[in-house]
Amino acid sequence: MSLHSNAGKLAPKSMLANIPELISDYYIYTPDTQNNAQRISFGTSGHRGSSLLKSFNELHILAVTQAVCDYRKEAGIDGILFMGMDTHALSYPAQLSALQVLAANDVTVYIAKEFGYTPTPVISHAILTHNTGAHAQCDGIVITPSHNPPTDGGFKYNPPHGGPADTDVTDWIEARANTLMENGLNDVKKLGVDEALKAENVIEYDYVTPYVNDLENVIDMDAIAKSGILIGADAMGGSGMAYYSAIKKRYGLNMEVFNDTLDSTFSFMHCDKDGKIRMDCSSPYAMAGLVALKEKYDIAFGNDTDFDRHGIVTKSVGLMNPNHYLSVAINYLAQNRPQWKSELGIGKTLVSSSMIDRVADALGKKVIEVPVGFKWFVDGLSEGKIFFGGEESAGASFLRKNGTVWSTDKDGMIMTLLSAEILATTGRDPGEHYQELTEKFGAPIYARIDAPADAEQRNILKKLSPQDVKEEILAGEPIEAILTNAPGNGAAIGGLKVVAKNGWFALRPSGTEAIYKIYAESFIDEAHLKQIQEEAQAMVSKLF
């Protein structure tokens, strides 16, 4: 994709979202239940859409919330439902709609005090904390479209394990919600807004204090404070705005917090590579504003809107590539958490950098490679089989210092604070640590490109078998593995991965766009990477 002329530039006022229109359309538009684009559809991170496109409207939220209530009864879940929302404009009306249904269904729901904002990892942390030794199992809802543009809305469900719901759960909720919409919401229980907000089962809760106080059990906050390093914390107008200020105060950090007031147009953001406003903390274009400040701070960082992803900015390299930081974090944690059992493994998605494998091999750690999606790390983290689970898209979590589970969803805050711990305890920032890793293991070059593919072609790619690849050589090296199932858990990857000694590629069809994605990496050079990409596309062309 070629760069948009606005990429990396402050968003022009002419492209800012019309918030009154967005919220009005949420209430006045009625989705067409016969149009697939306007039905409830759970992807890897819940249902997402926009009121402007009739894909995220009041009817959607009323139906999907009732479906969650019905699922809870079916699954015997009768504890607290923890609800969070982010700062996208559609999140507030969606929370009101959801509360009308939850209150009518007698679900005990905890919302942030004064309709505050609550990050995804805080909901996961609350679920796990309350489920420890509890008789009634708790679960949660997070209303967020993650880093998506300001016109989008999103709705995620986290069952009692605290992480993203698996497909068996989301398929059930999706089907039930669409049936409810098709039947005109006849089976949806609903109270008026005023009555719902006064209901005894809708309870305001302090999410901030328990999470912030518990951070010292997963991060060496004392070392960060004593070091006196100057930290730049860009809240990026997201759901963790109040958290960084509370963390600064609680632990006495030398930290400047900014972009911590509500602006649902996100007018302070720089445009992403396609010219859109997108709160993607892993994009050097979206993060251009913070990167420009890298010399001001010893370490700086930002998070996407629901604070489940991280972006690390160092003096040494600027914005770190997510794969690079994952490698550094794993290498550091494995050597600086003495209470962890030596047999704990490392969870990675199959499209994450092979640098992780080389680091793990040097550490004597087992790598558990799984398909894309953080849900695949839930069991490993909660059962204490892996100490770290990370995705190539800047999402990760890891265990407490004592080796017990912290969160089973991505936690952008512990990942950003870990970067400060690394600098505080070693005197070198994560960018410098990554340079040391490349001196030991080589310097991989990683890239993702998108290519057009219609629905039929994407379906072909989703159902590939290793036998469909006839080639034996990849970019001059013998092919060592052809994978359509993840080696870590045997789950179908919904695509294909081809591996050679010094390079690999993976193909994954998009579930929402008319494209397929090619992830590729070379441990040799740019020319080798380009050759891998070209050969990958050539292989695909033979399949259609």
Q: Check if 146 is active-site.
A: yes
CA–CA gap between residue 347 and residue 386 (Å, rounded): 6
Residue 244 CB-half CA count within 13 A: 28
Phi, psi of 446 (to 5 degrees): -120, 140
CA–CA gap between residue 19 and residue 21 (Å, rounded): 5
How many residues belong to the chain? Answer: 544
Residue 427 CB-half CA count within 13 A: 0
Look up residue 66 and give its two tokens. Answer: 């009732």
CA–CA gap between residue 311 and residue 325 (Å, rounded): 9
Lookup result for tokens 């543009």: 149
Give the CA distances from residue 363 to residues 186, 346, 477, in Å, rounded to whole numbers and listed in that order.
Answer: 58, 11, 27
Q: Where are the beta strands (DSSP E) in 235-340?
A: 255-258, 299-303, 310-314, 318-319
CA–CA gap between residue 63 and residue 67 (Å, rounded): 6
Closest CA to 475 of 517, 518, 538: 538
Contacts of residue 62, defined as CB under 8 A and 6 or more positions apart, other chains included, come to: 97, 100, 101, 185, 188, 190
Q: Please write down the HEC assignment for all residues of 349-417.
A: ECCCCCHHHHHHHHHCCCEEEECCCHHHHHHHHHCCCEEEEEECCCEEEECCCCCCCCCCCCCHHHHHH
- Quote the distance between the C-alpha of residue 85 and its chain's center: 15
CA–CA gap between residue 65 and residue 67 (Å, rounded): 5
Which residue out of 51, 97, 146, 419 is catalytically annotated? 146
- Start-to-end CA distance of the chain, whole Å, equals 22
CB of 420 closer than 8 Å to CB of 229: yes
Please give the positions annotated as active site: 146
